[in-house]
């Protein structure tokens, strides 16, 4: 009898992918070497908005080493980059890979130079002469629709891409009558994702087979292939292989189909040589889809006792110069549908206007819509507490939706899966020792010190997503996931997942899942991801969906493997398949572990089917597609303690605490790591980060100007969890990739506002709360 | 015009003719073919290209290859000896000091010099010494833990 195999799920197993990364043997796109590779450099617009009068490539073509130069005029038969989420009456302007009529943001590509070496391409690019006719640009979110602003696209009068609303306006009007209503202007500034690995691609066309291979920094290689092959280039999907090898972080910015990989894939078919492009960081700032960028007027009403009666929200969302792949979904279905938060909210109405501006296209950035919702709610709760002169923790506790296990219908379309919001918050209050903090704060204030605490609670809709639901809301894709399990004759297992890891650790967590289900050692398991040539199909990784959707698909296949294995084992044991159970890596007759066949022997039998059940196909390989029945809804409560320097306005984080509930946890070490990183990004938004445009020029165009969080700006994080499994999937996992980013921004801002309360500061319209902005606010209030 | 450059990288002699404008990081990655050293920015902020040159941690994007003529260089590929991970590498593994892995080589090389300067660093010293290295995944928490772990192991090894 086999010894009981140790369960691995739920344990902090060290990552299997790490040895290659810590020894410098990761394999990122820019590391790839293919013989005969040429190098691409893009000619980009230096203007925010300019008509293209002429592109003169004659001198550049003569430059030694130049292989080809292409402009938009050369790309005949190529379609617009598609928008994958269509709202009703959405204005969809053409977005050509190379702009030929006009460039609409600084960085918009208009030509590509391809040369034998990177240096030759760069040198030749400087000889391409573009004659521009600059047009007045508009970049500010709240100016886009103003009379007199230039129209950026013919199809979009007043630069409006869409007007969209959700909720019950009349119910909010009624609820506000007689209520205490607080009103705030809330700006959620523009951010740059800045994964440490810049985007890159290597496109190779094999003229002999007609096959195109594209290595690209992608979170979802199948989506890249489908959009590029079928919608833009019109080439057969089955002749295109997209590979996303090791990818150095993404945070949403590598979901989308971009101009550069599309152009390289088109051009390699023309020149019949491989083409590589690697973004510089400057290009990353100018072309990676930006995140957030909302200007909102929000009103929240309360009874005198502190119960929320309603929420009214009017948001302008800046979409940039073109519609990026999923842009319209972010400020609508991923934002306004989350405005119910974790609170009982009798009436909600949200009105969202998406606008075009002469800026980099805006799309999903870690959290995508949900951080905007959480930030708004948590600032409004604070405003309410201030107006009602009520403790902010007490006000939150009064309004939490009570514990529920299976379904809570919100006022804005979503039906939450399971929740216990008060429990997470109470755990947080205990960790932070709230009462003690308030007395410490009072003592500090008497000494003239500015200490503050900020709370946030959040809910997110992740595990994206039920295909039927998102289809009815405008998605042009299904959002299921695939998982294929191939058992080899010797009992080794290769798993093919449509999900993609770019830091999440799939090779470890998915191995834990397989090892537990099959009762075999992790060393016998290989996880393959990121290759359309090997994996059935897949929607990739974003929206905290890998474990919940990808993991469930895998689980389904593992169960099919075991079912088939039972039939084979039953035949060998001369028993009925119904009497066979699978325990500790062996198929055994129920109740008689002595009568057993190990997994490896069943695997071998499946491939050497000499003594085999009648009518059963040989082989041991199963594929499943899992389409979730609902989103999953992680939640939690975070707190931040800060001290503000009275003289400089500098904010120092003294403590950061997080209690997250992501359902069941497959690997606590990995989940904690994602929470840490998410917190850092959210703190970055609160205190330092922001993409700034001036007259259409991106002023924060490098890491010298855009403040990335550094080690010495951040504390150690104090994390804990509550566990409320989701009923949506059999693993009970909700999703953990974005929680930190969603929760931390409001916690930090609320802490700074609390610290500055003695000076009369009660709000900041705009983040980041860098020293200058805080100092200015302090001066204004001091009079 | 090309100029000769001769270096010792991870114990192996390298001799090439290169353009004077070639950055050391591109020399290491493209000419020598050691791609563990990464390029994450254009402005020497991110530290992904950190290597050891004559024992000093330097950002390989801040030097021309020709400036490294005669230098002894260690890259991430040369840190493990005889298949044995260095305690810093082991620390990053043990303490989950990496996620996507892109900044990791630079972090390890920066930590290498840090622990020579401060064999028993405080948390504050570690954070300050990492001022030139950016990570977008970990929020630095586990990087600090990884370096503390390595410091303890290295101290124990010296006893």
For A564-600, what is each residue's pLDDT tens digit?
Answer: 999 999 999 999 999 999 998 999 999 888 899 999 9
Confidence band of A780 (pLDDT split at 50, 70, 90): confident
- Euclidean distance between CA atoms A689 and A440, whole angstroms: 30
Dihedral over Cα of A753, A757, A763, A764: its sign:
negative
For chain A, what is the mean pLDDT? 96
A669 chain-B contacts, CB cut-off 8 A: 96
What percent of chain A has a predicted confidence (pLDDT) above 70? 99
For A359, the token pair is: 């800026």
Note the pLDDT of residue A4. 57
For A611-656, what is each residue's pLDDT tens digit?
Answer: 999 999 999 999 999 999 999 999 999 999 999 999 999 999 999 9
CB A530 within 8 A of CB A506: no
For B23, the token pair is: 């950055």
Give the pairing type, strands A586-589 and A693-694.
unpaired
Q: Which residue has the tokens 């990884």?
A: B146
CB A540 within 8 A of CB A222: yes
DSSP string, A185-222: EEEEEEE----SSPPEEEEEEETTTTEEEEEE--S-HH
DSSP conformational letter for A550: I
For A238, the token pair is: 């089955």
For A139, the token pair is: 């970049």
**Three-state DSSP state, A395:** helix
DSSP string, A219-270: S-HHHHHIIIIIIII---GGGEEEE--B----TTTTSS--HHHHHHHHHHHH
**Three-state DSSP state, A444:** helix
CB A482 within 8 A of CB A623: yes
| A24/B19 CB distance under 8 A | no
Q: Is the pLDDT of residue A242 over 90?
A: yes
Give the pairing type, strands A621-626 and A592-598.
unpaired
Closest residue by Cα to residue A327 from A459, A567, A161: A161
B103 in A contact zone (CB under 8 Å): yes
Helix (H) or strand (E) holding B134: none
Q: How many CA atoms lie within 13 A of B103 on its CB side?
A: 29
Confidence band of A1 (pLDDT split at 50, 70, 90): very low
Chain B contacts in chain A segment 192-231 (CB below 8 A)? 194-198
DSSP string, A664-709: S-S-HHHHHHHHHHHHHHHHHHHHT----EETTEES--STTTS---
- Euclidean distance between CA atoms A509 and B1, whole angstroms: 52
For B157, the token pair is: 């090894």
* Structural domains of chain A in order of their starting residue, each with its CATH number: 18-25+480-626 (3.30.365.10), 32-135+195-250+254-287 (3.90.1170.50), 291-465+630-782 (3.30.365.10)
Query: Which residues lie closer than 8 Å to B152 by C-beta, 6 or more apart?
Result: none
Please give the interface size between A and B, counted as residue pairs whose CB atoms are below 8 Å apart.
180
**Three-state DSSP state, B29:** helix
For A17-62, what is each residue's pLDDT tens digit?
Answer: 999 999 999 999 999 999 999 999 999 999 999 999 999 999 999 9
A18 in B contact zone (CB under 8 Å): yes
For A416-433, what is each residue's pLDDT tens digit?
Answer: 999 999 999 999 999 999
A525, β-bridge pairs: A493
| A196/B80 CB distance under 8 A | no
- Coarse DSSP helix, strand, coil percentages of chain A, rounded to the nearest 5 percent: 30, 25, 40
**Three-state DSSP state, B14:** strand
Best to test chain B binding among A217, A677, A711 (most B CBs inside 10 Å): A711
User: What is the CA angle A41-A231-A465, rounded to 5?
Assistant: 105
For A135, the token pair is: 């047009």
Query: Which residues lie closer than 8 Å to B106 by C-beta, 6 or more apart?
Result: B37, B38, B40, B46, B47, B48, B49, B50, B133
DSSP string, B64-119: BGGGGTT-EEE-GGGTSBTTBPPHHHHHHHHTT--SS-SSHHHHHHHHHHHHHH-S
DSSP conformational letter for A112: E
Closest Cβ opposite residue B100 in set A502, A680, A740: A502
Other CB atoms closer than 10 Å to residue A126's CB: what's the count? 13
- Euclidean distance between CA atoms A487 and A532, whole angstroms: 20
Chain B contacts in chain A segment 727-746 (CB below 8 A)? 740
For A364, the token pair is: 């999903």
For A604, the token pair is: 């071998």
A400, β-bridge pairs: A343
Q: Is the pLDDT of residue A125 over 90?
A: yes
Chain B residue with Cα closest to A682: B139
Closest residue by Cα to residue A258 from A335, A203, A318: A203
| A673/B99 CB distance under 8 A | yes
Closest Cβ opposite residue B131 in set A26, A247, A712: A712
A708 in B contact zone (CB under 8 Å): yes
Dihedral over Cα of B18, B19, B25, B31: its sign:
negative
Closest residue by Cα to residue A651 from A713, A703, A710, A707: A713
| A23/B85 CB distance under 8 A | yes
For A89, the token pair is: 């009456």
B100 in A contact zone (CB under 8 Å): yes
Closest Cβ opposite residue A704 in set B45, B141, B144: B45
For A156-169, what is each residue's pLDDT tens digit?
Answer: 999 999 999 999 99
User: B133: left (phi > 0), else alpha (psi -120 to 50), else beta?
Assistant: beta
What would the mean pLDDT of A180-193 be, rounded to a whole number? 98
Q: Which residue has the tokens 């293919």?
A: A34
Closest residue by Cα to residue A236 from A214, A210, A218, A217: A210
First vs last Cα of chain B: how many Å apart? 53
Burial of A780 (0-12, 13-18, 19+ CB in 10 A): exposed
For A475-529, what is each residue's pLDDT tens digit?
Answer: 988 999 999 999 999 999 999 999 999 999 999 999 999 999 999 999 999 999 9
* Structural domains of chain B in order of their starting residue, each with its CATH number: 3-78 (3.10.20.30), 87-158 (1.10.150.120)
The total number of residues shown for chain A amounts to: 783
CB A527 within 8 A of CB A538: no
Closest Cβ opposite residue A677 in set B36, B127, B138: B138
For A544, the token pair is: 């905290």
Phi, psi (rounded to 5 degrees) for B86: -70, 150
Chain A contacts in chain B segment 125-144 (CB below 8 A)? 126-128, 130-131, 133-144
Give the pairing type, strands A348-355 and A308-318.
parallel
Closest residue by Cα to residue A363 from A312, A334, A407, A328: A328
The total number of residues shown for chain B amounts to: 159
For A577, the token pair is: 């398949």
Note the pLDDT of residue A2. 45
Note the pLDDT of residue A783. 53
For A528-575, what is each residue's pLDDT tens digit?
Answer: 999 999 999 999 999 999 999 999 999 999 999 999 999 999 999 999
Give the pairing type, strands A525-529 and A493-497.
parallel
A54, β-bridge pairs: A131
For B33-81, what is each residue's pLDDT tens digit?
Answer: 999 999 999 999 999 999 999 999 999 999 999 999 999 999 999 999 9
C-alpha distance from A216 to closest chain B C-alpha (Å): 15
Phi, psi (rounded to 5 degrees) for A676: -55, -50
For A183, the token pair is: 């009103």
| A196/B46 CB distance under 8 A | yes
DSSP conformational letter for A280: -
A652 in B contact zone (CB under 8 Å): no
CB A102 within 8 A of CB A135: yes
- Euclidean distance between CA atoms A291 and A681, whole angstroms: 12
**Three-state DSSP state, A766:** strand
| A677/B40 CB distance under 8 A | no
A187, β-bridge pairs: A295, A766
CA distances from B83 to A14, A372, A703, B11, B86 (A): 19, 48, 36, 15, 9
Reported ipTM: the value is: 0.98
B140 chain-A contacts, CB cut-off 8 A: 676, 680, 710-711, 714
| B138/A197 CB distance under 8 A | no
DSSP conformational letter for A168: -
Other CB atoms closer than 10 Å to residue A433's CB: what's the count? 11
Query: Which residues lie closer than 8 Å to A166 by C-beta, 6 or more apart?
Result: A332, A336, A337, A348, A349, A350, A412, A413
Closest residue by Cα to residue A744 from A635, A650, A660, A639: A639
What percent of chain B has a predicted confidence (pLDDT) above 90? 97
């Amino acid at each position: 009898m086999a010894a009981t195999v140790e369960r691995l799920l739920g344990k902090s197993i060290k990552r299997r992918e790490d040895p290659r990364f810590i020894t410098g043997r990761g394999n990122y796109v820019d590391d790839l070497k293919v013989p005969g590779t040429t190098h691409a450099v893009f000619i980009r617009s230096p203007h925010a908005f300019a008509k293209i009068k002429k592109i003169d490539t004659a001198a550049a073509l003569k430059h030694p080493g130049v292989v080809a130069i292409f402009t938009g005029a050369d790309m005949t038969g190529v379609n617009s980059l598609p928008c994958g989420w269509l709202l009703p009456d959405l204005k969809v302007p053409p977005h050509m890979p190379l702009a030929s009529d006009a460039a609409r943001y600084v960085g918009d590509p208009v030509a590509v130079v391809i040369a034998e070496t990177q240096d030759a391409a760069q040198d030749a690019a400087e000889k391409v002469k573009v004659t521009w006719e600059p047009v007045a640009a508009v970049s500010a979110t709240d100016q886009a629709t103003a009379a007199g602003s230039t129209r950026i696209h013919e199809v979009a009068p007043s630069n409006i891409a869409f007007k969209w609303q959700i909720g019950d306006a009349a119910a909010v009007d009624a609820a506000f009558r007689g209520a205490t209503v607080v009103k705030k202007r809330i700006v959620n500034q523009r951010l740059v994702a800045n994964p440490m690995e810049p985007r890159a691609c290597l496109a190779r066309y094999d003229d002999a087979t007609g096959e195109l291979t594209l290595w690209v920094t992608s979170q979802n290689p199948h989506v890249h292939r489908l959009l590029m092959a079928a919608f833009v280039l019109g080439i057969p999907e089955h002749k295109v292989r997209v590979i996303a090898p090791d990818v150095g972080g993404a945070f949403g910015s590598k979901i989308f189909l971009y101009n550069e990989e599309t152009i390289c894939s088109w051009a390699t078919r023309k020149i019949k040589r491989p083409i590589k492009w690697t973004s510089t960081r400057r290009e990353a700032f100018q072309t990676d889809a930006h995140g957030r960028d909302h200007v909102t007027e929000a009103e929240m009403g309360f009874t005198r006792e502190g119960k929320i009666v309603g929420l009214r929200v009017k948001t302008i969302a800046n979409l940039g110069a073109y519609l990026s792949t999923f842009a319209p979904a972010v400020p609508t279905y991923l934002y306004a549908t989350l405005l119910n938060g974790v609170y009982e909210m009798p009436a909600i109405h949200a009105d969202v206007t998406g606008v075009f501006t002469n800026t980099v296209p805006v799309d999903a950035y870690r959290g995508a819509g949900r951080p905007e919702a959480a930030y708004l709610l948590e600032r409004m709760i604070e405003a309410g507490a201030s107006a009602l002169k009520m403790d902010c923790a007490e006000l939150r506790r009064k309004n939490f939706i009570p514990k529920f296990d299976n379904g809570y219908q919100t006022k804005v379309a979503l039906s939450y899966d399971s929740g216990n919001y008060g429990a997470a918050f109470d755990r947080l209050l205990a960790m932070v020792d709230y009462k003690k903090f308030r007395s410490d704060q009072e003592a500090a204030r008497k000494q003239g010190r500015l200490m503050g605490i900020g709370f946030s609670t959040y809910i997110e809709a992740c595990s994206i997503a039920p295909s039927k639901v998102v289809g009815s809301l405008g998605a042009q894709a299904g959002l299921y996931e695939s998982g294929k399990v191939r058992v080899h004759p010797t009992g080794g297992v290769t798993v093919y997942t449509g999900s993609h890891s770019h830091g999440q650790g799939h090779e470890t967590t998915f191995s834990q899942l397989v090892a537990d289900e099959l009762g075999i050692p992790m060393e016998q398991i290989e996880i393959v991801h990121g290759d359309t040539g090997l994996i059935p199909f897949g929607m990739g990784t974003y929206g905290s969906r890998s474990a919940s959707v990808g993991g469930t698909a895998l689980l389904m296949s593992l169960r099919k493997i075991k079912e088939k294995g039972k039939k084979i084992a039953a035949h060998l044991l001369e028993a009925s398949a119904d009497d066979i159970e699978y325990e500790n890596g062996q198929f055994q007759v129920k109740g008689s572990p002595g009568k057993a066949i190990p997994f490896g022997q069943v695997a071998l039998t499946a491939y050497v089917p000499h003594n085999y059940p009648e009518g059963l196909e040989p082989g041991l390989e199963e594929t499943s597609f899992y389409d979730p029945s609902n989103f999953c809804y992680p939640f939690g409560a975070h707190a931040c303690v800060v001290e503000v320097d009275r003289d400089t306005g500098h904010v120092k984080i003294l403590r950061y605490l997080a209690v997250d509930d992501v359902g069941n946890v497959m690997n606590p070490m990995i989940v904690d790591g994602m929470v840490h990183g998410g917190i850092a990004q959210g703190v970055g938004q609160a205190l330092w980060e922001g993409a700034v445009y001036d007259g259409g020029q991106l002023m924060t165009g490098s890491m010298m100007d855009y403040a990335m969080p550094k080690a010495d700006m951040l504390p150690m994080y104090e994390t804990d969890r509550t566990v409320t499994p989701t009923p949506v999937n059999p693993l009970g996992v909700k999703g953990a990739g974005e929680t930190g980013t969603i929760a931390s921004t409001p916690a930090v801002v609320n802490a700074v506002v609390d610290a500055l309360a003695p000076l009369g500061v009660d709000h900041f319209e705009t983040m980041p709360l860098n020293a200058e902005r805080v100092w200015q606010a302090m001066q204004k209030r001091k009079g | 015009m090309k100029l000769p450059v001769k270096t010792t990288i991870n114990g192996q002699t390298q001799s090439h003719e290169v353009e004077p404008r070639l950055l050391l990081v591109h020399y290491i990655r493209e000419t020598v073919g050691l791609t563990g050293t990464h390029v994450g920015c254009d402005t020497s902020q991110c530290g992904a290209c950190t290597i050891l040159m004559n024992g000093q941690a330097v950002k390989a994007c801040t030097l021309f290859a020709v400036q490294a003529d005669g230098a002894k260089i260690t890259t991430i590929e040369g840190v493990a000896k005889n298949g044995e991970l260095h305690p810093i590498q082991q620390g990053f593994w043990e303490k989950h000091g990496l996620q996507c892995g892109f900044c990791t080589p630079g972090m390890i090389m920066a930590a290498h010099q840090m622990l020579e300067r401060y064999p028993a660093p405080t948390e504050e010293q570690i954070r300050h010494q990492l001022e030139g290295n950016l990570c977008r995944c970990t929020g630095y928490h586990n990087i600090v833990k990884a370096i503390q772990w390595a410091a303890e192991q290295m101290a124990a090894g010296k006893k």
